[in-house]
């Protein structure tokens, strides 16, 4: 059996700590979901929170990622969105705490150019492309 080499410990820690401020926000929101009847599961290096009363609010999205935390409307939505959201997790690992400002700046740039702020955002385009490769 061929074993893949493990990255050095410092690299693993960096990938966790670099986006940690956003992961903490995700944990806070996820804890609120749990307090309102939601569920949590560990999956592919993330914590996925779903369901509960907060998930029934009329949010414009079915899932969102904050660092290593993924929040979803339901477990079924998470199953459908997992590959897409995992691409965002890798983007957080690459960009760290700068990811959200970069994402919002990219959306603003697309909007100023007369494009669609969400669908033409390069981070979303990469996630859509990545979900097709992973699926």
User: How is the chain classified by DSSP, letter by letter?
Assistant: -PPPPPPPHHHHHHHHHTTHHHHHHHHHHHHHHHHTT-EEEEETTEEEEE-SGGGGS--S-SEEEETTEEEESSHHHHHHHHHHHHHHHHHHHHHGGGHHHHHHHHHHHHHHTTS-TTTT-HHHHHHHHHHHHH-
Tell me which of 68 and 55 has the higher pLDDT.
68
Q: Are 66 and 28 in contact (CB under 8 A)?
A: no
Q: What is the pLDDT of residue 60?
A: 83
pLDDT higher than threshold 60 for residue 134: no
pLDDT higher than threshold 60 for residue 10: yes
Q: How far apart are CA 135 and CA 26, in angstroms?
A: 25
pLDDT higher than threshold 50 for residue 123: yes
Which pTM was predicted?
0.90
Q: Which two tokens stand for residue 30?
A: 């996820």
Beta-carbon contacts of residue 52 (< 8 Å; ≥ 6 apart): 33, 34, 35, 36, 37, 38, 39
Taking only Cα atoms into account, the Rg of the chain, rounded to an integer number of angstroms, comes to 16
> Which tens digits make up the pLDDT trace of 77-119?
999 999 999 999 999 999 999 999 999 999 999 999 999 999 9
> Which tens digits make up the pLDDT trace of 41-60?
999 999 999 999 888 888 88
Model confidence band, residue 133 (pLDDT cutoffs 50, 70, 90): low
Q: What percent of the chain has pLDDT over 90?
A: 77
pLDDT higher than threshold 60 for residue 62: yes
């Amino acid at each position: 059996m061929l074993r893949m080499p493990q990255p050095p410990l410092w690299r693993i820690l960096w990938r966790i700590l670099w986006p940690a401020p956003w992961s903490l926000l995700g944990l806070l929101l996820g804890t609120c979901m749990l307090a309102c009847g939601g569920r949590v599961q560990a999956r592919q290096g993330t914590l996925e929170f779903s369901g509960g009363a907060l998930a029934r609010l009329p949010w414009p999205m079915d899932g969102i990622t904050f660092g290593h935390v993924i929040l979803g409307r339901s477990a079924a939505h998470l199953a459908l969105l997992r590959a897409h959201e995992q691409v965002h997790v890798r983007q957080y690992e690459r960009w760290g705490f700068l990811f959200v400002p970069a994402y919002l700046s990219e959306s603003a740039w697309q909007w100023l150019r007369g494009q669609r702020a969400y669908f033409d955002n390069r981070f979303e385009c990469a996630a859509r492309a990545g979900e097709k490769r992973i699926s």
